[in-house]
Amino acid sequence: HQASALTYQALLNHFTPQFLLGLTATPKRSDQANILSLCDNNLVFERNLVHGIDERILVPFDYFGIYDQFVNYQEIPWRNGKFDPEALDNAFATQLRAQHILKHWQEKKQTRTLAFCISKKHADYMANFFTLAGIKAIAVYSDSEVRRNEALKQLEHGEIDIIFSVDLFNEGTDIPAIDTILMIRPTESKILFLQQLGRGLRQSSATNKQKLVVLDFIGNHQSFLIKPTALLDISNIRDLVKKINHGTQLTEGCFINYDLQLVTFWQEMAKRYRINSEEEYQELKTVLGHRPTATEFLQKGYRLDKVRQQYGSWFALVAAQENNEQLKQLVQKFGDFLHRGIAQTAMTKCFKAILLEAFLTLDGFTTAPTTEQLASQSLLVLNRYPELKQRDVAKAEQHCQPNDEKWHKYWLKNPIRAYTTANQDGQRWFFSGRWSI
């Protein structure tokens, strides 16, 4: 899943594989990288959490969505897609909330619990509160008194009952003995939520774990929709209410329950639900865990023509919805080219799309590639799509090699000439010199 990094991209672009196979345990990342695009979005096999439970590789779980009733999240400042950290810390440091959490934990817990907290202050507060209640609890974070590995050993051996952690056990941690997960913080993404849930799903021969218990404290704020949409694989509030009304069974052996107060809150939200392109964009971003592409937006069933009516182009919508000044400047500078020169350009064949992918692979916006380089790279790209090649390329050029002059002349006629010739409005989006474009 690190293949999206620039160093790995340079390595992948350097070689020309006859066959490229991608394998990952992290297909979706929190940094918005689209791993599947490295393999041309060609997904040939997938096994997710449900498959793992069905095949008894993972244990089933009982999930309790508990109303976080002693925090009014509507009153906590919301900035740049997150709650204000200091205000959240203060709201969490109350005996009423801690007692509410302790009560539900004592009723439903099993033997070994991992709890996810928002900050060091929060973890220390909760560990101290549980300790005063006679529970063997410790707080673990980057510079805590008890180190990470030592805490895990104590938990595994039953020397402590619960670890209150901060950003140490979200991923890359193998803790089969954990049989209870306690979520007492907001979650920024679907990916993070599923990673935290996954910490307790491993089979354990040492403890003969039969199931995982998940206690998830959910507040009265739209941002918490990340959790049920991730768990139930849905995209919006209306679908969530419909799913709850018709039953939330995930797979055999799993149990999902939400407090009535949460269901009522979501039902009221659904009544006010009026979706437009902005809400569709934000919903999809929440579900995917990254900034959506136009392709993902279209595949979800949303309408790009509605986006164009409201914003003029997909790129203008993205610029308006993202808190990224550099992105806004790029759209302002190149928006017309991106919309008219790419999104709306006539494509009766796949050639222009192939040419653009080759152009990007050659970093053409930085250094103009030669037409020979473009033709050669385009054929390498086209060879990855045999059905398109067979459909659109003339029979006489079907067996050309990337460096054949015959192929170069064919590619010059179309699409290079089409993209470098002025359209009916007299607009040319690409210009060709004697040797380059």
Confidence of residue 96 (pLDDT cuts 50, 70, 90): very high
Tell me the average pLDDT across 136-153.
90
Residue 191 · residue 124 · CB < 8 Å: no
Question: In the predicted model, is pLDDT for residue 434 greater than 60?
Answer: no
Q: Which residue has the higher pLDDT, 168 or 242?
A: 242
Please tell me the distance from the alpha carbon of residue 302 to that of residue 294, in angstroms, as a whole number.
Answer: 10
Instruction: Quote the pLDDT of residue 380.
Output: 92
What is residue 274's predicted lDDT score, i.e. its pLDDT?
62
Q: pLDDT, tens digit, for every residue of 399-431?
A: 999 999 999 999 999 898 888 887 666 667 676
pLDDT at 28 over 70: no
Higher pLDDT, 7 or 54: 54
pLDDT at 90: 95
Question: What does the pLDDT read at residue 284?
Answer: 81
**354 compared with 347, residue with greater pLDDT:** 354
In the predicted model, is pLDDT for residue 292 greater than 60?
Answer: yes
DSSP code for 348: S
* pLDDT number for residue 177: 92
Report pLDDT for 115.
97
The DSSP bridge partners found for residue 114 are 163, 181
Alpha carbon of 62 to those of 222, 329, 386: distances in Å? 24, 47, 46
**Polymer length of the chain:** 437
- pTM of the complete model beyond 0.75: no
Helix (H) or strand (E) holding 255: strand 255-258
Mean pLDDT (the chain) is 87
Residue 34 has pLDDT above 70, yes or no: no
> From CA 296, how far away is CA 92, in angstroms rounded?
37
> Could you tell me the two tokens for 336?
């017309």
Lowest mean pLDDT: which of 80-84, 265-269, 278-282, 283-287?
283-287
Residues linked to residue 66 through DSSP beta bridges, in sequence order: 217
Rounded Cα–Cα distance for residues 376 and 214 (Å): 54
Residue 31: what pLDDT? 46
Mean pLDDT, range 258-281, rounded to an integer: 86
pLDDT over 60 (residue 32): no
pLDDT of residue 218: 97
Name the nearest CA neighbour of 294 among 285, 309, 284, 304. Answer: 304
Tell the CATH superfamily of the 49-272 domain.
P-loop containing nucleotide triphosphate hydrolases (3.40.50.300)
Asked if residues 121 and 93 have their Cβ atoms less than 8 Å apart, the reply is yes
Residue span(s) of the chain under CATH 3.40.50.300 come to 49-272
